[in-house]
Structure 1
Amino acid sequence: MFDARLRPLIDVPLNAIARSLSGTGITPNMITGFGFLLGILAAVCLALTLDYAALALILASRFMDGLDGAVARHAAPRSRHPGAKSQESDLGGYYDIVSDFLFYSGIILAFAIGRPEHALMAAFLIFCFVGTGSSFLAYAIIAAKQGRSDDQSQGKKSFYFLTGITEGSETIFVLCLICVFPAWFDTISAIFGALCLMTTFGRVSQARRDFA
């Protein structure tokens, strides 16, 4: 819901850092991999109930998740495809989205490992994540087939980004919340899970309108 509104604010510092990294040999995929590693470490900390260490690592991981795309747009091309003007690539986009969804669900799984009394609500929240993720990716597949583009609202992306109530920024906020207020996990999961289900329903409805 807030991703498109936050994008202009986030892009300014990310683009400045990306320009400074241009020519250093640091590739977008390296940054994606490093961000994913930070996410794994965050999950380990959460499983050990080191909540504030997990919070710091989550924020660092998501910073890397934003930086990889900025570097891809500013770095000199290293693509095997002729005519490439940057390091943006379909493979990079693939790595990015796979690591994102593994990160989101991994954090919730780690919370349940550290606090098994919350396992049921953790399972519910992961189920809701599957709904938002699958409805998002399935729409993107059909949108690409039909040549649809959302560059104006979301910036240049590897695939179509369908909006919803719960997007990346809201999910990151919730992951941070459970680190700061772990005792509220069940309540946070119930509320956010319901919003995720509403997002899934809205995306399915949008697909019905656009693709029927």
Structure 2
Amino acid sequence: MLDTRLIPLIRPPLNRLAQTLNRRGIRADQVTVVGFIIGMLAVPLLWMEWYTAALIAIALNRLGDGLDGAVARIQGLSDAGGFLDIVLDFIFYNAIAFGFLLANPEQNALWAGLLMFSFAGTGTTFLAFAIMANKHQLDSPNYPQKSLYYMGGLTEGTETIIAFVLFCLFPQHFPWLAGIFALMCWITTSARIRAGYTTLRGL
């Protein structure tokens, strides 16, 4: 929901940093992998309840997620890069929920499980429609420079980042924060199922 408003604001500084990386011969896929590795460090950090350090790892991962796309737009978008990016993103999202489960299983296990279940809904609807959109050569009007068709919704990348930040800042309130975000994810999933089915039915 907020991605279309945030992207125009962060794209100029990301493009400048991407140009620097490109001049040094750093490839977009390398940025993707390094960002993923840094992000996965959040799991043991959450397990140890080092929430500030985990938040830094999450923030650096999200920076890498935006930066790899900026580098790719300079060097040329590729299907392989787009595939790697989206797969590692969804692994990372679920890993953060798992990290909070490890931090406090008694308090967080049910809600972390619900959150991962919710990510299954948003992820499958997103990827399934992207496959069909490619088959029918549909263009994404809001994200024309993406390698995949980006189906929007109430919970997109920006909302997910905000949720992760809140989880780290207020870990004692993870259950109800995760519950609220899971509900938002299912609203997104329901809307995508309806919109996707209607669109494809019309074709």
CA RMSD after TM alignment: 0.9
* Structure 1 gap segments, 5+ residues each: 76-85
**Where does residue 167 of structure 1 map in the other structure?**
156
**Where does residue 20 of structure 1 map in the other structure?**
20
From 91, 102, 105, the counterpart of 1:113: 102
**Where does residue 62 of structure 2 map in the other structure?**
62
User: Using the alignment, how far apart are the partners of 2:103 and 2:21 within structure 1?
Assistant: 38
Residues 135 and 203, structure 1, Cα contact 8 Å, conserved in 2: yes
* Structure 2 gap segments, 5+ residues each: none
C-alpha deviation, 1:23, in angstroms? 2.7
User: Using the alignment, how far apart are the partners of 1:92 and 1:124 within structure 2?
Assistant: 30
Q: Runs (4+) of structure 1 moved beyond 6 Å? A: none
Describe the superposition over 1:100-143 as per-residue Cα deviations: whole angstroms up to 9, x where unpaired: 00000001101101110110111001100100000110011111
Q: Where do 1:1-212 residues align within 5 Å?
A: 1-75=1-75, 86=76, 88-117=77-106, 118-150=108-140, 152-212=141-201
Aligned residues: 200
User: Using the alignment, how far apart are the partners of 2:144 and 2:164 within structure 1?
Assistant: 24
User: Using the alignment, how far apart are the partners of 1:65 and 1:31 within structure 2?
Assistant: 8
When the two structures are superposed, what TM-score results if normalisation uses the length of structure 1?
A: 0.92
**Where does residue 78 of structure 1 map in the other structure?**
none
Describe the superposition over 1:79-111 as per-residue Cα deviations: whole angstroms up to 9, x where unpaired: xxxxxxx2x210000110011000000011011
The AA in structure 2 aligned to 1:46 is: L
The AA in structure 2 aligned to 1:53 is: A
User: Using the alignment, how far apart are the partners of 1:199 and 1:142 within structure 2?
Assistant: 18
